[in-house]
C-alpha cells in the first residue's frame, strides 16, 4: 500500500499560527521517517482555521525540511490562475527539488463567490474553462502545446527543468474525463464525498488516453482517518472531527477541543449530518483502520491513498499517523 498525507494545516482552537506551522514541519519530518510516500498541501481561502492558502509556498518549506518524501499540492485551484504561471511555479520547484515535486490541480472556486472574485481581482467566473486550462497547463509543463496555439512560442522557465507529474482532483465524472482525456493521474476525494465514485472512476479508466506522462490510468483516493490505541479512544478523537465538519459548513474551520465537544449540545439534524459524514472517514485501532482501508482498496481498485487526520491535539494527530504507518509497515523497506 502506498500511503501519503494531505494537510490542510488546520488551526486548532486555542493554538497560535506559529505553533501550528511548527507542528506542520514536525509532521512532515515524521511522515518521511515513518515511510509515507508523499505529503500534499491543500489550498483554501478566506477561512478562520485552514492555514494552507498557498501550496506553492508551503511546498519548498517542507521540502527543505525533509530529504526524500515527495511534496505536492492537493490542489492548486487552476480556474483562478494562469496555466502558464502555475507551470513556471512548479517547474521551478522541480528544478529546486528534483524528483520530489507533484502537482495536483482542481476545479474548485476556492470558497464563496465573493472570495473567488477577490482571488481573481474581480474576473468573471472561469470554471467552465477548466478542461482547456488543464490542456494548456500540461502543454506548458512539457512543451507540448499544439502548433496552432496562440502561446506556442512561450516557454516556461527554467527552460530545461523536468516537469512534475500532474494529477486532477475529482469528485465527479466531468473532472475524471478531463484527467482521462489528457492522460493524467486522478485523485478521488472520498473525504469530501464518496457518493459518485463508481461513475467517476469508470469514466476515467474507460476513457483514459495514454500521454507522455503515463501510459496507464492511476487512481489515488483521499480519506479521513482517525487511528488510536483503542476503538474507544479513536471514537472519542473522531468526535472532534465530527464537530469540525459541522463547523466547516457554518464557516468555522478551527478544530474544536474535546472539552468544546463535551460542552456542545447536538441537535437531531446535526446528529444526522454526523452519521452521514462518517461515510467519509475510517475510525478505529490500527488493525481496524487497516482492514477498512484494504476494503476501500478493493472497491476503488487502487493501492494508493492520501489520508487526512483533522482532530484535536497534535500528539493525538501525529500518533494516528504513526499507528497507521506501523500497521502497514510503511518503513519496512
**Phi-psi label, residue 99: left if phi above 0, alpha if psi -120 to 50, beta otherwise:** left
Could you tell me which of 124, 119, 132 has the C-alpha nearest to residue 84? Answer: 132
- CA distance linking residue 312 with residue 292, whole number of Å: 22
* Domain-located, residue 45: yes
Q: DSSP alpha helices (H): ranges in 37-169? A: 55-65, 83-96, 113-119, 130-142
Domains in the chain, number: 1
- CA distance linking residue 229 with residue 239, whole number of Å: 16
Q: How confident is the model at residue 275 (pLDDT cuts 50, 70, 90)?
A: very high
Which pLDDT value is given to residue 333? 64
Residue 326 has pLDDT above 80, yes or no: yes
Q: Give the pLDDT mean for 299-303.
A: 98
The model's pLDDT over 212-254, given as tens digits with 9 standing for 90+, comes to 999 999 999 999 999 999 999 999 999 999 999 999 999 999 9
* Domain-located, residue 247: yes
Could you tell me which of 86, 81, 10 has the C-alpha nearest to residue 240? Answer: 10
DSSP 274-308: HHHHGGGEEEESHHHHHHHHHHHHHHHT--EEEEE
Is the bond into 81 cis (omega within 30 degrees of 0)?
no
Which pLDDT value is given to residue 328? 97
Q: What mean pLDDT, rounded, does the chain reach?
A: 96
Domain of residue 50 covers: 2-328
- CA distance linking residue 71 with residue 68, whole number of Å: 9
* Domain-located, residue 81: yes
Q: Give the pLDDT mean for 115-134.
A: 89
**Phi-psi label, residue 10: left if phi above 0, alpha if psi -120 to 50, beta otherwise:** beta
CB 234 within 8 A of CB 228: yes
Burial profile 277-286: b = 16 or more Cβ within 10 angstroms, e = fewer? beebbbbbbb
- The helix (run of H) or strand (run of E) holding residue 38 is strand 38-41
Which pLDDT value is given to residue 124? 83
* Domain-located, residue 100: yes
Residue 324 has pLDDT above 80, yes or no: yes
Which pLDDT value is given to residue 199? 97
Number of continuous H segments (helices) and E segments (strands) in the chain? 12, 9
Contacts of residue 222, defined as CB under 8 A and 6 or more positions apart, other chains included, come to 6, 74, 187, 188, 189, 190, 191, 192, 305, 306, 307, 308
Could you tell me which of 310, 251, 40 has the C-alpha nearest to residue 164? Answer: 40
Q: Give the pLDDT mean for 44-55.
A: 95
Q: Give the pLDDT mean for 171-192.
A: 97
- The residue with cell 527554467 is 158
Which pLDDT value is given to residue 58? 98
Q: Cβ atoms within 10 A of the Cβ of 165, count?
A: 19
Which pLDDT value is given to residue 122? 87
* Domain-located, residue 167: yes
CB 47 within 8 A of CB 14: no
CB 9 within 8 A of CB 58: yes
CB 198 within 8 A of CB 173: no
* Domain-located, residue 49: yes
CATH code of 8's domain: 3.20.20.30
Residue 330 has pLDDT above 90, yes or no: yes
- CA distance linking residue 268 with residue 266, whole number of Å: 7
- CA distance linking residue 193 with residue 289, whole number of Å: 19
Amino acid at each position: 500500500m502506498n500511503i501519503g498525507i494531505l494537510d490542510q494545516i488546520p488551526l486548532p482552537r486555542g493554538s497560535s499560527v506559529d505553533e501550528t506551522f511548527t507542528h506542520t514541519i514536525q509532521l512532515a519530518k515524521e511522515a518521511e521517517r515513518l515511510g509515507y510516500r508523499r505529503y500534499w498541501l491543500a489550498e483554501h481561502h478566506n477561512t478562520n482555521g485552514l492555514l494552507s492558502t498557498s501550496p506553492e509556498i508551503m511546498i519548498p518549506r517542507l521540502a527543505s525540511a525533509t530529504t526524500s518524501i515527495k511534496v505536492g499540492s492537493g490542489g492548486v485551484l487552476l480556474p483562478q490562475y494562469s496555466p502558464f504561471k502555475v507551470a513556471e511555479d512548479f517547474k521551478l520547484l522541480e528544478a529546486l527539488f528534483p524528483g520530489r515535486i507533484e502537482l495536483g490541480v482542481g476545479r474548485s472556486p476556492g470558497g464563496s463567490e465573493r472570495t473567488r472574485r477577490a482571488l481573481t481581482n474581480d474576473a468573471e467566473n472561469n470554471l467552465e474553462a477548466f478542461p482547456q486550462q488543464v490542456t494548456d497547463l500540461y502543454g506548458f509543463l512539457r512543451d507540448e502545446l499544439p502548433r496552432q496555439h496562440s502561446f506556442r512560442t512561450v516557454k516556461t522557465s527554467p527552460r530545461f527543468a523536468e516537469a512534475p507529474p500532474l494529477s486532477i482532483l475529482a469528485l465527479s465524472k466531468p473532472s475524471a474525463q478531463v484527467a482521462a482525456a489528457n492522460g493524467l493521474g486522478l485523485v478521488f476525494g472520498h473525504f469530501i464525498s464518496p457518493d459518485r465514485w463508481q461513475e467517476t472512476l469508470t469514466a476515467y479508466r474507460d476513457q483514459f488516453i495514454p500521454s507522455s506522462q503515463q501510459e496507464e490510468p492511476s487512481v489515488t483516493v483521499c480519506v479521513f482517518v482517525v487511528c488510536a490505541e483503542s476503538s474507544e479512544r479513536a471514537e472519542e478523537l473522531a468526535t472532534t472531527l465530527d464537530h469540525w465538519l459541522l463547523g466547516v459548513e457554518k464557516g468555522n474551520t478551527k478544530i474544536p477541543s474535546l472539552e468544546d465537544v463535551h460542552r456542545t449540545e447536538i441537535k437531531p439534524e446535526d446528529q444526522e449530518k454526523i452519521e452521514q459524514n462518517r461515510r467519509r472517514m475510517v475510525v478505529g485501532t490500527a488493525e481496524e483502520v487497516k482492514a477498512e482501508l484494504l476494503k476501500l482498496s478493493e472497491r476503488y481498485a487502487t493501492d494508493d491513498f492520501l489520508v487526512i487526520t483533522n482532530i484535536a491535539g497534535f500528539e493525538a494527530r501525529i500518533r494516528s499517523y504513526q499507528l497507521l504507518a506501523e500497521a502497514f509497515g510503511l518503513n519496512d523497506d
